[in-house]
Each structure stands twice: as structure tokens, then as C-alpha cells.
Amino acid sequence: MNAIGEKIKYLPSSEYPLSADVYFIEGDKYCYIYDVGNNDDSLNQINQIKKEKIIVLSHYHQDHIGNIENIDYHSLYVGKKTYETIGKGTIVDEQFTVNDGVKIEIIPCVSPHTEGSLIINVDNEYTLIADLYFTRSSFDREKMLMMINSLKDIETKYFVISHQENDKVFPKEKLITELLDYLNQ
């Protein structure tokens, strides 16, 4: 497992099978898991955890949710689209905060990647955004702009993205600038 800062550990993504990064944040009472991946490594890591688990799924794509059927958890938070795909979980349509020795904000965020994405802000330092801004060549520019504006409002030092092992943690302003450049090119 790799680490980001003091409180976040993660299992990097894999290509075959396609499986997104799985993030683990240890609270006093619960372990918070952001995305559950789609390979055996992720499943084994998740199932080794002794604490009760609170799971947040970023969005409904298979590489992020594949293992969900094989995991026991205390709570599961999802966006509406993810709920429609897996048929379970609590839909988050307004952001809320959990304080458990670590402060975790679960935030619905508009995205040009998929509808109904959730991101999480850890201690106002690292905000995990998964694939939020991955787009194909044609994308909804208005949604991209709305997403950038929402990201600007988040009180965080860094954004952390999935699938990019060597370019994963961005200072807030750097990511915002890159996204605006991409939008305006």
C-alpha cells in the first residue's frame, strides 16, 4: 500500500483487469474506503480490515465499484446514478461531514465524466476526486466549467486523482489552472 500524507493509504490502480485506486482513511471508529476497485488485490486488502467500514463510491463505473458485492460494510454512500446501477447504498445529494478523529466531508460534485459523482475532502487537506475530470475529446463544456467552479470552492490544499500513479497529487491551484487551460484550448 502507498500513502498520501499521514492519514490516507491507497492501493494503486491496475490495467488488467481495469481497477481504480482504492483509498483507505483510518478514523477512530471506522475505516473509510473511497472506491472498492475491481480486482482481487483490492478485495483482499479491503476484507483484511478489522474495523467496520464506511464505503463511498465515486461513481458507477465498473473499475470503481466491481468488488462491492463481496464486501461487508457498516454504511455505503453513493450518488444517484451509482444507486441506479448497484441498487443499494444511501444516496448523497447534499454534502455532509463526519468527524471521527479525522474530518471527512462527502461532497456530491458535477462532472463531465459521469453524472452523480462523489468526492471526499480529508481534513481540508487532501480532496480525493477519482476520475471526476477524465473526458473524451468531446465533452460537456458547461459541466466542466461547473465542476471547476465547485472545485474552486472546496477548502483543500491538494486534489488527488485516480489511475495516474506518477501524477496523482496536485496542489489545488495547479489543477484548477490546468483544467481551465484544457477547457479554453
Using CB under 5 A as the criterion, which residues of the chain lie in contact with Zn ion when the complex forms? 61, 131
**Cβ-based nearer residue to Zn ion, 105 or 131:** 131
CA of residue 15 relative to chain centroid, distance: 18
* H or E stretch at 146: helix 141-153
* Shortest distance (Å) from residue 30 CB to Zn ion: 25
Smallest gap from residue 114 Cβ to Zn ion (A): 6
Min CB(81)–Zn ion separation in Å: 11
Q: How far apart, in whole angstroms, are the C-alpha atoms of residue 64 and residue 174? A: 25
Q: Which is nearer to Zn ion, 61 or 168 (CB)?
A: 61
Report the sign of the C-alpha dihedral through residues 76, 81, 82, 85, in that order: positive
Using the minimum distance from each CB to Zn ion, give the nearer residue, 115 or 123. 115
Task: Please report how close the Cβ of residue 99 comes to Zn ion at its closest, in angstroms.
Answer: 29
Residue with cell 483510518: 26
Report whether 75 contacts 90 (CB < 8 A).
Answer: yes
Closer residue to Zn ion (CB): 16 or 48: 16
Q: At its nearest, how many Å lie between Zn ion and the CB of residue 27?
A: 26
| 167, 158 contact by CB (below 8 A) | no
Q: Which residue is nearest to Zn ion (CB)?
A: 61
| Cβ proximity to Zn ion, 27 vs 112, nearer residue | 112
CA 61, distance to chain mean position in Å, is 12
